[in-house]
Amino acid sequence: MIRHELVARQLEERIAAHFEVGRRLRVLDAGLGDGARALRLVRWGHQVTGLEPDPGRLAAVRSALESEPEGIRERFRTLAGSGQDTGAHFLPGTFDVVLCHDVLDQARDPDSTLAGLARVLDTGGLLSLVIPNVEARAMRPGLAGDWQTARAALVADTAERDRFLRLEALTAFLARIGVPLESWYGVGVFGADGTHGDAAAGEAGSGTGEADAATGAAAGEAALDVEERAGRTDPYRAVAPSLHLFGVRG
């Protein structure tokens, strides 16, 4: 999906900016999911530990790893658990990079989870967070003409969890736990986030033959290019459905 590629490119950019070329980093992925994100980092040469609370997903990742080369398997460790369990598994300063993508908003106690993730970062380490943009929830339904949902998002009382996830609140909290915000991006500004954007790319290449396939690929690359540029540009990034935040351990 375009969304996954955007996040990966943003992460790659920040890693390149913070660490010397060729350095093998110690990475924690707190929320492994299907393992694709972690596997990509392993293939870049890094040592990755993945935490995943869902037994089915964890078993699927481990099964898929069996078909990978030995060098990949040696650099990819999986554990049952979530971002809330870092204190039970790891010492302070264990990792150079910590990922928490699309899981912080689901945590029972997001502030303590985030503090725990910061604790296991080494000095100069990079924290990568992908969260829903709670301040722009009316944008997608509004653009789709779903006025009832858009209005509900605009007038709804802000829950405590949503207040924590706001960019201003997270910026203040990251500073308090010693991982101040260094940079941030929007993800999927124009809807190329696995739904609208990918569908548009598919429609562009919905015919048959090599020419149509090339047209579809070109449309996908164009969407990715526009999304990537908009995701780092004001005011567009502020209305993206997701935000990608980077903090650096002081």
Instruction: Please report the domains of the chain, with CATH numbers, ordered by start residue.
Output: 2-189+231-248 (3.40.50.150)
Residue 127 in 3-state DSSP? strand
Using CA atoms, how far residue 35 sits from 85, 94, 134, 201, 232, in Å, is: 18, 21, 26, 25, 26
* pLDDT recorded at residue 222: 92
* pLDDT recorded at residue 60: 96
* pLDDT recorded at residue 200: 42
Helices (H), 81-190: 86-89, 110-119, 139-143, 147-155, 160-165, 167-176
Q: Are 213 and 195 in contact (CB under 8 A)?
A: no
Q: What is the spatial distance between Cα 3 and Cα 38, in angstroms, rounded to a whole number?
A: 16
* pLDDT recorded at residue 162: 81
Could you say which residues of the chain have pLDDT below 50? Answer: 194-206
Q: Single out the residue of 239, 205, 234, 238 nearest to residue 222, CA to CA.
A: 205
